[in-house]
Structure 1
Amino acid sequence: MPTSSAHIHTQTPQRLMNRLCKHWGHKFPVTLDEQQGVIELPLGVCRLHCADTLTVELESDSVQMSRLQQVVTDHLQRMAGKETLAIEWK
Structure 2
Amino acid sequence: MNHSVAEITTEQAGIYLQQLCKHFAHKLAVEFTPEQGTIPFSMGMCRLEAAGDKLTLKAEAENADLLVQVEGVVERHLVRFAFRDPPEIVWRAAEQAAS
State the TM-score, normalized to the length of structure 2.
Answer: 0.86
Instruction: State the distance in 2 between where 1:71 and 1:35 align.
Output: 21
**Counterpart for residue 73 of structure 2:** 71
2:90 aligns with 88
Per-residue CA deviations over 1:6-49 (Å, capped at 9, x if unaligned) read: 00111210000000000000000111112100011112111000
How far residue 81 of structure 1 moved from its aligned partner, in angstroms, is 2.8
AA of the residue aligned to 1:44? G
Which sections of structure 1, spanning at least 5 residues, go unmatched?
none
- In the alignment, which residue of structure 1 is the partner of 2:47? 47
Residue identity over aligned pairs, in percent, reads 36
The Cα RMSD (Å) is 0.9
Aligned mates of 1:50, 1:41 — CA distance in 2 = 20
Aligned length: 90
> Which amino acid counterpart does residue 55 of structure 1 have in structure 2?
T
Which consecutive aligned stretches of 4+ in structure 1 deviate over 2 angstroms post-superposition?
A: none
Counterpart CA distance in 2 for 1:69 and 1:45 is: 9
Q: TM-score, normalised by structure 1?
A: 0.94
The 2-side partners of 1:54 and 1:43 are apart by: 22
Deviations 1:42-72 (A, max 9, x none): 1211100011300000011223111211111
1:58 is matched with which residue? 59
Describe the SS at the equivalent of 1:14: helix
Q: Distance in 2 between matches of 1:46 and 1:66?
A: 12
